[in-house]
């Protein structure tokens, strides 16, 4: 039996996060000692590691819930897990595009800055110019 602190250390997950995962049903409710302390088994450790790794890959809690359901029912087709992963990949690719556009705009802003006085500061000028935001938004759209 593992304490919540041990589970936390072994997975790198904060204690509050473990409690939250229990509260929303991603983790099964822990067994309790007579003193009310949570106790976990190795299966709980593996489930939490799965959740943690999924979060590191950027999966939403809803997607993780779906993946856990598939994992808990191994006779199901893998096609749904593949679909969830492909959806996540598309979202990551979209985020990368947005970040690349932001990087380009920031590089332009910094390159235009001559270190003049604040009155002539290109960084502040660009930030005050809201029409530039619309240009970036269109590039991302």
For 73-124, the pLDDT digits (tens) are 989 889 999 999 999 999 999 999 999 998 988 888 788 777 667 777 777 7
Check whether 137 has a pLDDT greater than 60: no
Check whether 25 has a pLDDT greater than 60: yes
**What is the structure's pLDDT at 121?**
78
Check whether 128 has a pLDDT greater than 90: no
**What is the structure's pLDDT at 43?**
95
Q: Give DSSP secondary structure letters for the chain.
A: -B-HHHHHHHHT--HHHHHHHHHTTSSPPPEE-TT--EEB-HHHHHHHHHHHHHHHTT--HHHHHHHHHHHH-TTS-THHHHHHHHHHHHHHHHHHHHHHHHHHHHHHHHHH-----GGG-HHHHHHH-HHHHHHHHHHH-
**What is the structure's pLDDT at 86?**
97
Q: What is the second-level CATH architecture of the domain 4-59?
A: Orthogonal Bundle (1.10)
């Amino acid at each position: 039996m593992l304490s919540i602190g041990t589970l936390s250390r072994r997975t790198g997950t904060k204690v509050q996060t473990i409690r939250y995962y229990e509260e929303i049903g991603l983790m099964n409710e822990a067994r309790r000692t007579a003193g009310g302390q949570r106790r976990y088994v190795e299966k709980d450790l593996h489930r939490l590691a799965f959740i943690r790794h999924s979060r590191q890959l950027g999966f939403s809690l809803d997607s993780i819930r779906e993946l856990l359901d598939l994992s808990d029912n191994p006779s199901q087709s893998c096609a749904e897990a593949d679909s969830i992963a492909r959806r996540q990949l598309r979202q990551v690719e979209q985020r990368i595009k947005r970040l690349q556009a932001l990087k380009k705009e920031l590089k332009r802003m910094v390159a235009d800055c001559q270190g003049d006085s604040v009155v002539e500061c290109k960084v502040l000028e660009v930030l005050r110019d809201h029409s530039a935001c619309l240009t970036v938004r269109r590039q991302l759209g």
